[in-house]
């Protein structure tokens, strides 16, 4: 556990193992850099220039202080253009710092002074540190945590240049909550499907709910049968690992109608009888990224306690080609009675989500949001950084996009082009589960739309950003937690509209 401290002393007077100082594009000094240069009687700008530092995002430079100031080492981090620097810049820098500062017990920095709002930047800083310190080591012979060399020594972070205020302390804590929730989602995504079965996700949800005071009900296979959840049962029928539906409720606003959320929880997507090839199957343990993000959001909301009601129904199933698997041509009857013709068992996400959406729409929510690693087509359209969003409510879509931008998980809208509805017309059922070759992200969304009734709804296709196939300089390989932080921020923003419990009660600097 890292503790955060705020201090109003000068960065030159802080005893720390590492002092992290920002610099902007063109070597414009960030907060604290000049003071430190003066105290050290050193021309830091020339030293940085000689070291090849330009101040671009991702630039780093480490140097010893040779006893001239109290800190032992300095880490200069580039933040890019000063005018563009905001809480997202700070978060990203903190992610990079966390990866580089694991040897140091005490780290001091002025980074949170960058950007328009000290509270937002402090939040981004804490969140970035938590995200950047993430390691997934459970499956090593000896978890790296036990070995001397890679164990993070980081104990204390001192934010220099501000007196401690309630607002700043709260912002730091909120950043930790966001980061820890996303890291939990990353753990769930990274856990191999051998272990992360539907029952495992349900047990994790149950533990989390007990710890954080959420109402939780797990639907077993028999209960799903009685409830008419033919999509979840159908997809899960080819696996010995039985499907589950995880139901969670957070109540922060009396009897007000809730926001409803769901997420695709396919614990492994082999494709079923429409079997995938080996390479596209490599990452399919991550096909429950939407479920993981939804669980993580519920956890964070339980901790943040905003004034709002949120319900979740998360369908979990393993898509396997066992002897009892569904076949191309089969027809499933979903919750609420609508039927779908399964022409490709690899288009399974929509089949389980259909049941969850129909179930949630029965609860008369103000809106339904689903997140899903639903289509390769969304990745073709927008690449790996951006999720796609489609839905029936422009305001909801705009709010999700703006929440995503605030937390550094950006998305982009694709059209819910109703002309393409004809491509999922079935001759024997109400709808079929594949369209033609093109516009696959859109036809998938149009399929989902059949099950939401007239509730305002948005669908986030997170097949690209949910996991990183290759490491970048601020994400290791594996789950990213996306779009957990987007969902948390969206819910908090909606709660603010309810006039309370929101994040901004007096925390904005001006
Ligand atoms: N889980 C996949 C989508 C996916 C692809 C997620 C790449 C993450 C990375 C989904 O179930 C799937 O297989 N979709 C098919 C749909 C097709 C059969 C209509 C696809 O996208 O090819
Ligand atoms: Zn899938
Ligand atoms: Zn699939």
267 lines ligand 1 (CB under 6 A): no
- 8 A C-beta contact, residue 374 and residue 465: no
Candidates 234, 263, 267, 346: which one to mutate for ligand 1, based on the most atoms within 8 Å of Cβ?
346
> What is the reported pTM?
0.96
Q: Give ion ligand 3 contacts, CB < 5 A.
A: 269, 346, 348
Q: What pLDDT is stored for residue 143 in this prediction?
A: 59
Q: Which two tokens stand for residue 443?
A: 């036809």
Q: Which two tokens stand for residue 144?
A: 């790296």
321 lines ligand 1 (CB under 6 A): no
Q: What pLDDT is stored for residue 164 in this prediction?
A: 83
Residues labelled catalytic = 276, 350
Q: Give ion ligand 2 contacts, CB < 5 A.
A: 266, 269, 287, 349
Give 316's contacts (C-beta < 8 A, 6+ positions apart).
Answer: 198, 201, 202, 232, 243, 244, 245, 246, 265, 266, 267, 288, 291, 352
Taking the CA of residue 491 as centre, how many other CA atoms within 13 Å lie in the half-sphere pointing to its CB?
35
Q: Looking at ligand 1, which atom is closest to the CA of residue 377?
A: 21
Q: Which ligand is nearest the CA of 375, by number?
A: 1
Which domains does the chain carry? 3-164 (3.40.220.10), 216-497 (3.40.630.10)
Give how far Cα 183 sits from Cα of 135, 191, 243, 485, Å. 9, 12, 24, 10
Q: How many angstroms is it from 438 CA to the middle of ligand 3?
A: 16
375 lines ligand 1 (CB under 6 A): yes
Give every residue of the chain whose pLDDT is below 50, as ranges: 146-149, 502-510
Q: Which ligand is nearest the CA of 376, by number?
A: 1
- Give the single-character DSSP code of 356: H
Q: How many angstroms is it from 309 CA to the middle of ligand 2?
A: 29
Rounded-to-10 torsion of CA 415, 420, 426, 429: 30
Q: What pLDDT is stored for residue 504 in this prediction?
A: 46
Candidates 289, 352, 375: which one to mutate for ligand 1, based on the most atoms within 8 Å of Cβ?
375
What are the backbone dihedrals phi and psi of residue 2, each rounded to the nearest 5 degrees, phi first?
-95, 135
Q: What pLDDT is stored for residue 493 in this prediction?
A: 98
Q: What pLDDT is stored for residue 509 in this prediction?
A: 34
Q: How far apart are CA 501 and CA 503, in angstroms?
A: 7
444 lines ligand 1 (CB under 6 A): no
Nearest CA to ligand 1 atom 13: 346
406 lines ligand 1 (CB under 6 A): no
Q: What pLDDT is stored for residue 505 in this prediction?
A: 42
Rounded-to-10 torsion of CA 11, 13, 15, 20: 20
Q: How many angstroms is it from 359 CA to the middle of ligand 3?
A: 22
344 lines ligand 1 (CB under 6 A): yes
- 8 A C-beta contact, residue 303 and residue 212: yes
């Amino acid at each position: 556990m890292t503790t955060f401290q705020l201090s109003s002393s000068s960065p030159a007077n802080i005893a720390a193992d590492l002092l992290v100082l920002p610099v902007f594009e063109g070597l414009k000094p960030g907060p604290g850099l000049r003071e430190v240069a003066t105290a050290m009687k050193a021309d830091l700008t020339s030293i940085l220039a000689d070291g090849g530092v330009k101040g671009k995002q991702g630039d780093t430079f480490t140097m010893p202080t040779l006893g001239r100031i109290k800190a032992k080492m300095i880490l200069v981090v580039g933040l890019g253009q000063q005018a563009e620097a905001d809480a997202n810049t700070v978060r990203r820098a903190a992610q990079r710092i966390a990866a580089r500062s694991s040897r140091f017990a005490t780290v001091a920095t002025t980074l949170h002074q960058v950007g328009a709002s000290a509270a937002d930047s402090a939040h981004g800083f804490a969140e970035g540190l938590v995200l950047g310190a993430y390691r997934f080591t459970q499956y090593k012979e000896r978890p790296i945590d036990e070995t001397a060399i890679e164990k993070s020594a980081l104990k204390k972070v001192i934010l220099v240049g501000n007196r401690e205020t309630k607002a700043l302390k709260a912002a730091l804590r909120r950043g930790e909550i966001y980061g820890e929730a996303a890291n939990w989602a990353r753990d769930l995504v990274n856990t191999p499907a051998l272990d992360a079965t539907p029952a495992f996700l349900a047990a994790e949800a149950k533990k989390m709910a007990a710890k954080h005071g959420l109402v939780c009900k797990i639907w077993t296979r028999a209960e799903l049968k009685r409830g008419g959840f033919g999509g979840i049962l159908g997809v899960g029928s080819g696996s010995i690992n039985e499907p589950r539906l995880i139901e969670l409720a957070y109540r922060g606003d009396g009897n007000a109608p809730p926001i409803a959320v769901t997420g695709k929880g396919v614990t492994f997507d082999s494709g079923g009888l429409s079997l995938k090839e080996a390479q596209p199957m490599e990452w399919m343990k991550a096909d429950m990224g939407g479920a993981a993000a939804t669980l993580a959001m519920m956890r964070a909301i339980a901790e943040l306690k905003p004034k709002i009601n949120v319900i979740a129904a998360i369908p979990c199933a393993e898509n396997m080609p066992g002897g009892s698997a569904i076949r191309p041509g089969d027809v499933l009857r979903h919750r609420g009675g609508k039927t779908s013709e399964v022409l490709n068992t690899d288009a399974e996400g929509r089949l389980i989500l259909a049941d969850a959406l129909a179930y949630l729409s029965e609860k008369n929510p103000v809106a339904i949001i689903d997140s899903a690693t639903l289509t390769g087509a969304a990745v073709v359209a927008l690449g790996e950084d951006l999720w796609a969003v489609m839905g029936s409510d422009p305001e909801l879509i705009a709010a999700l996009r703006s929440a995503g931008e605030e937390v550094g998980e950006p998305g982009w809208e694709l059209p819910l082009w109703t002309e393409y509805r004809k491509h999922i017309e079935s001759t024997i059922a109400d709808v079929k589960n594949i369209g033609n070759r093109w516009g696959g992200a859109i036809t998938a969304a149009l399929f989902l739309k059949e099950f939401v009734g007239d509730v305002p709804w948005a669908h986030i296709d997170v097949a690209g950003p949910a996991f990183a196939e290759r490491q970048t300089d601020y994400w290791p390989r594996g789950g990213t937690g996306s779009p957990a932080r987007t969902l948390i921020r969206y819910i908090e923003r909606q709660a603010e509209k309810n006039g309370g419990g929101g994040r901004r009660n007096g925390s904005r600097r001006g």
